[in-house]
Amino acid sequence: MPHHTLQCLTRPLPLLVLPLLLSGLACAQTISTQPGSGAAAMQEATMAPAPTYSVVNLGTGQVIRVPVINKYGQVAYNIGAAAFFYDGTTIIDIPGLDRSLNSTATGLNDKGQVVGTSPVGNTGLVHPFIWSKEAGLFDLLPLDDAPFAEALDVNNYGVAVGDSYRDPTITLPGHAVRWTGPGSKRDLGSLGTGQSLAIAINDAGLIAGNAVLSPDVVHAFAWTPATGLIDIDTLGGGNQSEARAVDELGEIAGNASIANGRSHVFLWTRSGGIRDLGTDGGVTSSVLGMSSRGRIAGSLQKTLGRDHAMTWTHSYGMKDIGTLPGGQIARALAANNYGEVVGESALKDPAVFHAFVWTYASGMIDLNKRIRYLPRGMVLQSALAISDNGSIVVQTNTGLALLKPNRCGCGAAVGPIEAPAVVAAGSPYLVSASLADENTSAVHTVSWSWGDGSSDPTQNAIERNGEGSANASHVYSKPGIYEVSFKVTDKAGHSASVTRHVVVQGLAAPVDTKG
């Protein structure tokens, strides 16, 4: 059951900028789908957040796209220029993609098929791909001469959507497209003469997207094989709308401007058209994610500088779910079909954000307080995606991690490498790192790599009652920027690693020994 949600990155993750973006509408998505019998017939299921979660390190580095998760807790994500897939037990660096050329994984279905975009060697072409562990990697454009195309979502039948330029000179705007297989592309057209972009598809084949009507006007659209493009239009005199998600009920959610230019969340259906969901007493409202059964996650602007997390359902309407204690800013980024909403909230210090999970029964919970074995120094900053089994993808101060409900037997989690950011060549560079494992009897070995071609011999961590640490030192002989890596392994074969960069400056001044 894929849920299909276009999610833009919020603080602190940077957007991956693509050519001729539709006002920044092309962001990563989360997907899933399941046949439904209509919104009125849906009964909202509820599930309490887990008492505790286990932590799985997914990788360290710059996260450029919102990760996508399916109902089984498998994750497709990007770190730096590489695209990865976590199959529930193992992290796979998707083979066949060139790490040096900024490949991205943007869509995932419940069958473990990943779609994304990757440069084609050094040709200057950028093509969409579809990959799975079982079938391998396929270029969706082997018979197409388009210089640039991207796949953004895929349903459970392997049908992918995105956009593609219509001529090799990139003189005409790109159009929304649908691929039913490698080389099988259908141009969905546009609402005007400008660019269009398909951002999500459900299993019934309903596609949501956005199109430029004129330089200052962007409208959301719906598409099916029977109807072609349908202009979703705007709310009450506004000139902008953008689709963000499509669910299994045939509903498209997004944001649209009203006459005064302020943004409201909308919900569209073929039979009912566009519906203003309001702002629950706030100034503006925004949708940032939606589950496959129509639970919306987003934010409300209460006053200038005060954003609260928000959720909406057919049963209860829009609800302000507030912030963590003392905070002024919070955003709900994703929701599952069991009443769990996740996101990020500032604390009393507006620059410090923590990841949260919320339900009607529990209210908003700081996820940092639900990790029984959290490595020293690790902070869960933002919850980006949640599956129907309760697994949560979080941004941490060490990179991406997956929270699995209760105990998972996944091995140790690793905290950040604690060390100075700058050291002089010829001087000792002192580092330390911590680990935590719910298996308190496990024995872990640790290793250090220094980025200059040298590494330290493997040794046992210093540990007690599930918590451990390791210290090391190194002397760099030449100035430069180096990547330090710390890896933890147990006897069962589980491993986790973190990295950080150090700037090595010129040689340290000699010590005057003459007094």
Asked whether residue 1 falls in the same domain as residue 105, the answer is yes
* Residue 22: predicted pLDDT: 33
Asked whether residue 7 falls in the same domain as residue 145, the answer is yes
Domain boundary among 213, 232, 265: 213
Of 132, 11, 90, the closest CA to residue 410 belongs to 90
| Cα 387 to Cα 35, 71, 214, 403, 405, distances in angstroms | 18, 5, 38, 11, 11
**Selected residue with higher pLDDT from 28 and 469:** 469
Domain tally, the chain: 3
Asked whether residue 94 falls in the same domain as residue 195, the answer is yes
Cis before 12? omega within 30: yes
**pLDDT tens digits, 183-193:** 899 999 999 87
Query: On the CB side of 144, how many CA atoms lie within 13 Å of its CA?
Result: 28
Asked whether residue 354 falls in the same domain as residue 448, the answer is no
**Selected residue with higher pLDDT from 48 and 300:** 300
In the three-class reduction of DSSP (H, G, I as helix; E, B as strand; rest coil), residue 369 is classed as helix
Q: Is position 428 within any domain?
A: yes
- 190-193 — which CB contacts under 8 Å span 24+ positions? 190/229, 191/219, 191/221, 191/229, 191/231
Query: On the CB side of 280, how many CA atoms lie within 13 Å of its CA?
Result: 22
In the three-class reduction of DSSP (H, G, I as helix; E, B as strand; rest coil), residue 444 is classed as strand
359 contacts 49 by C-beta, under 8 angstroms? yes
Lowest mean pLDDT among 15-24, 140-149, 323-332, 492-501: 15-24
Provide the whole-model pTM: 0.89
Mean pLDDT calculated for residue range 51-79: 93
Beta strands 495-507 and 422-425: pairing type? parallel
Confidence category of residue 37, pLDDT binned at 50, 70, 90: very low
- In Å, how far from its chain's centre is CA 89? 19
**Residue 9: pLDDT over 60:** no
String of DSSP letters for 472-502 = EEEE-SS-EEEEEEEEEEETTS-EEEEEEEE
Domain boundary among 182, 213, 244: 213
Asked whether residue 374 falls in the same domain as residue 478, the answer is no
For residues 45-62, b (16+ Cβ closer than 10 Å) or e, as one string?
Answer: eebebbebbbbbbbbbbe
Q: What is the distance between the alpha carbons of residues 57 and 397, in angstroms, rounded to a whole number?
A: 11
**pLDDT tens digits, 211-268:** 999 888 999 999 999 999 999 999 988 889 999 999 999 999 999 999 888 999 999 9
Q: What is the distance between the alpha carbons of residues 375 and 489, in angstroms, rounded to a whole number?
A: 15
**Residue 127: pLDDT over 50:** yes
* Residue 23: predicted pLDDT: 31
Of 254, 211, 257, the closest CA to residue 230 belongs to 211
Q: What is the distance between the alpha carbons of residues 377 and 435, in angstroms, rounded to a whole number?
A: 10
Q: Is position 175 within any domain?
A: yes
Beta bridge partners of 105: 116
* Residue 509: predicted pLDDT: 59
Domain boundary among 213, 230, 262: 213
Asked whether residue 336 falls in the same domain as residue 420, the answer is no
Asked whether residue 137 falls in the same domain as residue 174, the answer is yes
Dihedral of alpha carbons 270, 222, 265, 327, sign: positive
Q: What is the distance between the alpha carbons of residues 375 and 267, in angstroms, rounded to a whole number?
A: 42
**pLDDT tens digits, 157-191:** 999 999 998 766 666 788 999 999 998 999 999 99
| Cα 417 to Cα 38, 60, 375, 469, 501, distances in angstroms | 50, 11, 11, 10, 10
Q: Who's near 55: CB < 8 A, 6+ residues apart?
A: 371, 373, 374, 375, 378, 401, 402, 403, 413, 436
E strands of 270-329, at which residues? 273-276, 284-290, 296-303, 306-313, 317-322
Q: Domain range spanning residue 304? A: 300-406
Q: Is position 339 within any domain?
A: yes
Q: Is position 43 within any domain?
A: no
Q: Is position 53 within any domain?
A: no
Asked whether residue 397 falls in the same domain as residue 439, the answer is no
**pLDDT tens digits, 410-451:** 999 999 999 999 999 999 999 999 999 999 999 999 999 999
% of the chain at pLDDT higher than 90: 76
**pLDDT tens digits, 373-406:** 999 999 999 999 999 999 999 999 999 999 999 9
Of 392, 399, 489, the closest CA to residue 435 belongs to 489
Mean pLDDT calculated for residue range 67-89: 95
Q: Which of 59-73, 167-181, 342-356 has the highest mean pLDDT?
A: 342-356
Asked whether residue 208 falls in the same domain as residue 124, the answer is yes
Asked whether residue 393 falls in the same domain as residue 309, the answer is yes
* Residue 33: predicted pLDDT: 27
**pLDDT tens digits, 276-323:** 999 999 999 999 999 999 999 999 998 877 899 999 999 999 999 999
Tell me the residue type at 467: E
Confidence category of residue 334, pLDDT binned at 50, 70, 90: very high
**Selected residue with higher pLDDT from 508 and 488:** 488
* Residue 299: predicted pLDDT: 97
Q: What is the distance between the alpha carbons of residues 159 and 138, in angstroms, rounded to a whole number?
A: 13
> At 500, which CATH number?
2.60.40.10
Mean pLDDT of the chain: 88
Return the structure tokens found at 234. 């705007």
Mean pLDDT calculated for residue range 133-139: 95
* Residue 170: predicted pLDDT: 64
**Selected residue with higher pLDDT from 13 and 70:** 70
Q: What is the 3-state secondary structure (H, E, C) of 289-305?
A: EECCCCCEEEEEEEECC
Q: Is position 226 within any domain?
A: no
Asked whether residue 19 falls in the same domain as residue 154, the answer is yes
Mean pLDDT calculated for residue range 58-70: 91
Tell me the residue type at 511: V
Q: In this structure, what DSSP letter does residue 510 have?
A: P
% of the chain at pLDDT higher than 70: 88
Q: Is position 228 within any domain?
A: no
Asked whether residue 467 falls in the same domain as residue 448, the answer is yes
Q: Is position 486 within any domain?
A: yes
**Residue 24: pLDDT over 70:** no
